[in-house]
Amino acid sequence: MMESSEAINIGWFFGVIAALSLLFAAGLRLPVRLGFARRAIAATLVIGSAVGIVILANVALFRHDAHLDLTREKAFTPSVDAGNVIRGLSEPVEVAYFFQKQNPGAVALGTMLRQLERENANFRVRLIDADQNPGLASSLGVRTYNSAVLRSGDHRIEVVTTDDREIALGVLRLLRKREVVICFASGNGEYDIDNFEFHTHFEGAHSHSHDASGLAVVQMEQHGLGRLRRAIEKLGLAARKISFATGQPIPEDCGAVVEANPRTAYSPGESELMRRYLQRGGSAMLLIEPDYELDESLAALLASAGIKVANGVIVDPREHYFTDEQMIAVSNYGVHPITRGLALSFFPGARPLEMIPTAGIKLTPLALSSPETYVIADRLGNNSTAASGPRASRIMVIAAEGALNEAATAPFRLVVAGDADFVSNSFFPYLANSDVVLSALAWLTHEERAPAVKPPIEVLPTVTLTGEQMRGIFIVTVLLIPGLIAFAGGTMWWLRR
């Protein structure tokens, strides 16, 4: 949808063209058989009018510049996220971009920065050729091409990029008033945030899998949540590991605690640390895989928050990817600040969750499967082992908010998911998986109203379809179209025989 300011600018453009066309038409209809004095007066009026209209036209076009990007990829148009961030600026930000003119991406970013500059007077841009101004670059500490130095007051950061979203993320980091720390639990075999950002998998002698069948073989090292960590750091958040095994309380500066795929059982003492953290108004995200058996203390803690983590694995014959009915595609979201504007996401193996109505706690189902879902005992089971009972939609992610108990001093925020792989390096960058996680973290850290920008993640472009979409394509391309062609050919043969 075109912005209203852009539509106004385009209107000015066509208005100027109309005025010039009217002047040209008037010149063509001007009588030529006049006396010398009348011709001189008429010529003076025409020339004066033309000069005046041209001056006014240039002023109008300069003050109401319109941008038309006819490329399919919109390569010279700022992203919607970057535009929202710049239009929302309430304090001055200066950007000095040292670009390399031989780099088409850097030149395109310079064009986009000029467009963003017109969106808000608080955003000032200087485009500097680094080869022609090495002294200026050195004085600002710039050592590489395509570096943007962002300044606001005494604050200064440097961003090396040719992507306008990185500039917007830099602006958000520059203006952040407080440090927000995301604490990742460790010590129970969780996914690690220090890794090489490869995908999470298990290798065996005869197979390669993401499921529990690989638990009996060697687990590859250096896998986990590296992409998530880099994404939150681009947003200006800090990532830190914490361990419950020390018995020390969860630090006060933890904006949110992430427990991603624990492998060993919680001790009662560790569950008590989490309980005390939530009682004082903490926020947490628990990502529990289907093959993890909760101990009684952690299950009791979640029950006091109105959440029950059920056993089994969800199977969705209707909404899934490829031929794997355990890889659930999600387009059905509950109404919540986390799910606002979310597109299709997917969960590669999830267990069902249940809501327990609890006084003082607001529960919201965030991600649900299709109504044709059923549950099997484990990932290695087949569809014939489906649990008894009617097929129904299952909850995979729940958000809870409120007072944990009478001893609570502040309301907690909690997100529980029956799957952890969807945030791992394997699946985090694809479709809306990263949006789900980052939106949840924004809500947990009470920043759901802040401008949102999705950090760029380097992945190969892919097209992923649900099972229903694949069936539809098969029916149309393999059955319907060839069938129509055969029918048309048979009809023509019958009429001509």
Q: 239 - beta bridge partners?
A: 182
| pLDDT value, residue 216 | 39
Provide DSSP, 416-479.
Answer: EES-SGGGSTTTTTSTTHHHHHHHHHHHHTT-TTS---PPP---------BHHHHHHHHIIIII
Asked whether residue 450 carries a pLDDT value surpassing 80, the answer given is no
| pLDDT value, residue 337 | 92
Provide DSSP, 160-217.
Answer: E-S-HHHHHHHHHHHH--S--EEEEEESSSPPBSSS--B---EE-SS-EESSGGGGGS
| pLDDT value, residue 283 | 96
Asked whether residue 270 carries a pLDDT value surpassing 90, the answer given is yes
pLDDT tier at 137, thresholds 50, 70, 90 = confident
Structure tokens, 58: 């240039």
pLDDT tier at 456, thresholds 50, 70, 90 = low
Helix crossing, 80-87 with 104-117: angle to 10°?
40
- CA separation for the pair 304, 75 (Å, rounded): 51
pLDDT tier at 290, thresholds 50, 70, 90 = very high
Give the residue among 180, 182, 407, 412 at the shortest CA–CA distance from 282.
412
- CA separation for the pair 158, 143 (Å, rounded): 11
| pLDDT value, residue 197 | 57
pLDDT digit string, tens, across residues 182-236: 999 998 999 999 875 555 444 443 344 444 444 433 344 446 899 999 888 888 8
- In which element (H, E) is residue 303 found? helix 296-304
- CA separation for the pair 344, 207 (Å, rounded): 29
Mean pLDDT to the nearest integer, 83-108: 90
SS3 content of the chain, % helix, strand, coil (to 5): 35, 25, 40
| pLDDT value, residue 211 | 45
| pLDDT value, residue 2 | 44
Mean pLDDT to the nearest integer, 146-150: 92
Which percentage of the chain shows pLDDT scores above 90?
Answer: 38
Q: Is 260 helix (H, G, I), strand (E, B) or coil?
A: strand
CA distances from 420 to 324, 332, 341 (A): 17, 19, 22
| pLDDT value, residue 27 | 64
Boundaries of every domain in the chain? 4-63, 80-175, 181-444, 467-497
φ, ψ of residue 325 in degrees (nearest 5) = -75, -5
Cβ-contact 106, 100 below 8 angstroms: yes
Q: Is 34 helix (H, G, I), strand (E, B) or coil?
A: coil
Better pLDDT: 430 or 363: 363
pLDDT digit string, tens, across residues 345-361: 999 999 999 999 999 99
Mean pLDDT to the nearest integer, 467-496: 84
Better pLDDT: 472 or 315: 315
Rounded to the nearest integer, the mean pLDDT of the chain is 82
Contacts 24+ apart (CB under 8 A), 156-163: 161/109, 162/103, 162/105, 162/106, 162/108, 162/109, 163/109, 163/456
| pLDDT value, residue 388 | 47
pLDDT tier at 331, thresholds 50, 70, 90 = confident
Give the residue among 231, 225, 226, 278 at the shortest CA–CA distance from 250.
278
Mean pLDDT to the nearest integer, 133-142: 87
| pLDDT value, residue 452 | 62
Record: fold of 181-444: Rossmann fold (3.40.50)
| pLDDT value, residue 30 | 58
| pLDDT value, residue 215 | 41
Record: fold of 80-175: Glutaredoxin (3.40.30)
| pLDDT value, residue 45 | 76
The residues, ordered by sequence, that sit 6+ positions from 497 with a Cβ below 8 Å of its Cβ are none
- CA separation for the pair 84, 97 (Å, rounded): 20
| pLDDT value, residue 93 | 94
